[in-house]
Chains A and B, each alone.
Chain A
Amino acid sequence: METPPNLPVGWVAQWDSVQQRHLFIETATGRSQWENPAQFPAGPIAPIDTQGQVPHGQPHQSSKRRQYATGQTQAYYGSAEPAPYADPSYGQPQPGGQLFTPGLAAEAGFAGQQGAPAYFAPPDTGYANGQYPQQPVQQPNMNQVTNQFAQMGLGGQKPYALQTVNLLAGQPDPRDLHRPTPEIRLPPNASISQSPYVNADPSYKRSTINAVPTTSSMLNKSKVPFALILTPYRSLKEGDEPVPVVTDTVIARCRRCRTYINPYVQFIDGGNRWKCCMCSMSNEVPQLFDWDQARNAPGDRWSRPELNHSVVEFVAPTEYMVRPPQPPVYCFLIDVSHAAVQSGMVATATRTILESLDRIPNEDNRTKIAIIGFDVSLYFFTLAPGSTESSMLVVSDLDDVFLPKPTDLLVNLTESRSAIEGLLGRLSDMFQDSHTVGSAMGPALQAGFKLIQSMGGKLVALSSSLPTLGAGTLKNREDIKLLGTPKESTLLQPASSFYKTFAIECSRAQVSVDMFLFSSSYTDIASLSCLPHYTSGQTYFYPAFNASRTEDALKFAHEFSTVLASPICFEAVMRVRASKGLRMSEFHGNFFVRSTDLLAMPSVPIDQSYAIEVQIEETLTAPFVVLQTAVLHTTAFGERRIRVCNLALPTTTNMSEVYSSVDEIALATLFANKAVERTISHKLEDARDAITNKLIEIMTNYKNTMTAAGSGASAQLAISENMKMLPILCLGLLKNVGLRQSAQIPVDLRAYAQTLLTTMPSQLLIPYIHPTFYSLHSMPPEAGTVGEHGIILPPPLPLSSERLERHGLYLIEDGQTIFLWIGRDAVPQLVMDVFNLPSYTELRGGKMTLPLLDNPFSQRVNAIIAKTREMRRGPYWPHLYVVKEDADPALRLWALSSLIMDRAEQLPSYQQYLGQIKDKVNGTTY
């Protein structure tokens, strides 16, 4: 036995013969630990002993900071074993202060551990790089900290700890939007694989509730809608794992419900049969399932990707084809009228196509291209293979569109490359002196459709004016008197049935339409966007486009070339299958519902989101349910594939588990989809009320069932911790351009905002309804520099103009626009550093490109803007507007409307909104 080292007062050392070392016991509390309590304050290096045991907290510290840290560690270690997904910083002894290891200092953990004021804490790198911070930032509130740690510490099977927070007590912290989704706690052995990828990543598929109530009455009672938010085709950013591909065309499916084999099935009968996880049918395992066809040797079943990954792609055999896979087909319909040529749209578009010719998916040299110009007539171009010349054929009969030539209009990109390049180079000059006004867009669409209907493909329409000739003629119906009135929603409905019936025709022929609209005046996006809506395309809008402004040209060229280069899929159908008792009831997004649960998508654009509502039809008896999305499609390189995306969710009979598993981001995405649909079928007012009422319903029921207040009145506004950002997201939706109560919003902008609200994946949608707000003049020194995960962003501020100081420089961005707000008392040095101008008065507001200057501040600001532009998925390249505090009131108001926590026009501030909700919640009793 060794002599015990010197001990602080109140401690005794006891020799443990088994461990062959001292056990230190605190006499006052009876707490014991292996480490010598006297050593910690001295040594800077954390003592981790050989057995990997973790040193416990330190008793009786003298400084305040240490006491706090001790409390945290106790709270943490006091609960069960570390959560499986916990940050490494939890597993290692490094709470602020006492066990601080300099080399190991994870900045992420540090801010919170220090107990610094929430909003001005140094930024944590994890968040700043667009990743989820593993640890929510704590407010210096011991109880809450304890609760939070307690919740995280709960192991696999323990119930969700429901934590109630009072919304009235604190301000929402924008960082909470990046918290991980509530954990999906599947029963042990739910999946046959131990792979961490057995459940889909939230960016592919997420559910509004991660624990499904067993009965529909319970779901109704909870008032939380059950829906899936899907983005089956999302882009792979750097660091994302590619989707594994099953190449051997052995596709095991359930005989009865046609479910694809997935990690949640069970192998029975010695592995010769498998039991379907949806309908419990016993199926035979295909003979070649255990055969490695590449090596022609027996393979390992357990290493098959479809049993280890939730998102997999199967290469489909010929049974999945009705015809040979189609080649990628692009038909460009370019408006060559006076307005289009003058704005520079034609020149920019043709140049972008020309530059993107190498990026258009064309791996097997099958891609076909056609170019049709239109103003009051249609201009076809023959692009004979091998020649560099193209000839133009004019068709002015718009009533009965015909193709002037059976061949050479739709040509192979590789074979006719020189002719296409020649045409694209000349197209803008050919119509340089055109003075024709008018647009035969409808007939052009019909012509393009005729050209590609036998194959299917993509129609890309670029238009600078309202269609005025032939089929699909639209009138200028914008009536300023109607704006802000209940009649406004009539302007958001399609004016002509052509765009719906034509969309259906397109969908049948596997033709998808993208719209790029450039008009400076009304173009009736509400009607035109119908076409992309039902053919799985996308609408892009560049109001008052003018290519002489480099920003405009750059934005369009960037987005257009990204769209052209994206690896899209063709002739797709999507179906969601679910465990017995669940039924997909409503579908929201850009597709055509071809039968009760089959969604037809002529093309699958990348990064488009769909929302599907789920109904519980009968009582769920299984401990967990599986929801499987399958997208059968043809890839851009001519392979028929099926992308399967599985999500397994546990079932529960406990209402508090339902609440504590709500995914507020998914819920907000669903609300956005439903609200937009409601504005079209009902009124804008109704759509807004529906959002607030739903929120009130959830809150009321939460208060009645989950809090002590019961159905009585309460001074608090209680909601579970994981839903605390829901009110601000709802408020953000109400204040979004697509839904806001205002008589100032042009119909086109509203309709465009609505198309964005229904198509953007959560990652883009959340900043769109809850913009990000940074203070640049007072950002921490590391912000804007390159950190471990790329450029470090400053900490986001709450969206309130209280934060705007008169001498400051701020950045507000919503993924579509970036505002650089500069206060009127900005010091000349700041203006000099950022804009290279001598003083604030010299600075002009508006769209601009920030100069990259030779000083660190300018470089950091530019780096932050660059990071903002590229960190999210999707083709969007936001404009940068410089907003001077005393400048152009329109621009100023626009920028300020992003600060959604403020009162604006008739719309309440966040506190007022909470007040309204609280009154309603207390007012209604059951």
Chain B
Amino acid sequence: MGGEGWLFLFALLISAVLLFVMVFFIIMFSDLECDYINPIDLCNKLNQFVLPENAAHAFLTIIFLLSGQWVAFLLNAPLLAFNVNKVLKKNHMYDATEIFRTLSGHKKESFIKLGFYLLSFFYYLYRFIVALIADSE
């Protein structure tokens, strides 16, 4: 198995992890709506995952850039820019005082990210298989 194969296998695993993180976020948000969790605990819990999630995604994107996987890089670049922008504006963390007002926005964002990670998961899987086939030939 060559470098490309390893790369996409790695990407596959990362995107699977991100996928689960997003599912976790969405579950937590609906818990909040149903009053199973209070906003303070929710924010404390979710805020631990925000930066690691962003960092994992940024790391993956940069690896694509360095390894010259232009298509994969361009697919991920918009989300990276979005995350960086949020961090720079310092509103990447969930704010317990505002959470109920912004909840619908957060949920929408999490769903879109979930969809994106799902699609990229299959894309990486495809590229991984393609790389394997190319190797074996």
Contact = CB atoms under 8 A, between A and B. Distances in A.
Interface in B3-47: 32-33, 35, 38-40
B95 interface: yes
Contacts of B97: 500, 503-504, 534, 592-593
B33 A586 contact: no
B100 A504 contact: no
Interface in B57-83: none
A595 B40 contact: no
B100 A593 contact: yes
A673 B97 CA distance: 16
Contacts of B101: 586
A549 interface: no
B97 to A, nearest CB: 5
Contacts of B95: 500
Interface in A488-535: 500, 503-504, 508, 534
Interface residues of A, number: 13
Most buried by B among A504, A592, A598: A504
B39 A593 contact: yes
Contacts of B125: none
B35 A508 contact: no
B29 to A, nearest CB: 12
A596 B33 contact: yes
B19 to A, nearest CB: 28
A594 interface: yes
Categorize the interface residue count of chain B. Answer: 10 to 19
A767 to B, nearest CB: 29
Contacts of A504: 40, 96-97
Contacts of A587: 100
Nearest to B103: A596
A508 B39 CA distance: 11
A598 B100 CA distance: 11
A596 B103 CA distance: 10
Contacts of A508: 40
Most buried by B among A503, A586, A587, A594: A594
A593 B99 CA distance: 9
Interface in A546-602: 586-587, 592-596, 598
Nearest to A507: B40
A461 B35 CA distance: 34
Contacts of B39: 593-595
A110 B33 CA distance: 57
B45 to A, nearest CB: 14
Interface string B79-118: 0000000000000000111011100000000000000000
Nearest to A586: B101
A500 B95 CA distance: 9
A534 B33 CA distance: 20
A902 B99 CA distance: 41
B38 A595 contact: yes
Contacts of B35: 595-596, 598
A489 to B, nearest CB: 13
B132 to A, nearest CB: 48
A789 B101 CA distance: 45
A594 B39 CA distance: 6
A593 B101 CA distance: 10
A233 B14 CA distance: 54
Contacts of B40: 504, 508
A683 B80 CA distance: 27
A530 to B, nearest CB: 8
Contacts of A596: 32-33, 35, 100
B98 to A, nearest CB: 9
B50 to A, nearest CB: 14
A678 B39 CA distance: 22
A614 to B, nearest CB: 15
A253 B99 CA distance: 30
A196 B112 CA distance: 54
Contacts of B32: 595-596
A926 B48 CA distance: 49
Nearest to B102: A681
A595 B36 CA distance: 9
Contacts of A500: 95-97
A886 to B, nearest CB: 49
Contacts of B96: 500, 504, 592
Contacts of B100: 587, 593, 596
A734 B99 CA distance: 28
A737 B101 CA distance: 26
Nearest to A598: B35
Most buried by A among B38, B40, B97, B99: B97
A504 B33 CA distance: 19
B27 to A, nearest CB: 17
A195 to B, nearest CB: 35
Nearest to A530: B97
B46 to A, nearest CB: 15
A404 B99 CA distance: 37
A255 B46 CA distance: 35
A544 to B, nearest CB: 31
A596 B33 CA distance: 6
Most buried by B among A503, A508, A592, A593: A593
A617 to B, nearest CB: 14
A558 B120 CA distance: 66
5 contacts: A500-B95, A504-B40, A593-B100, A595-B38, A596-B35
Given A504-B96, A594-B38, A595-B38, 5 more contacts: A500-B96, A500-B97, A595-B39, A596-B33, A596-B35
Interface of A: 500, 503-504, 508, 534, 586-587, 592-596, 598
Interface of B: 32-33, 35, 38-40, 95-97, 99-101
The 8 closest A-B pairs by CB, nearest first: A595-B35, A593-B100, A504-B96, A534-B97, A504-B40, A500-B97, A594-B38, A596-B35
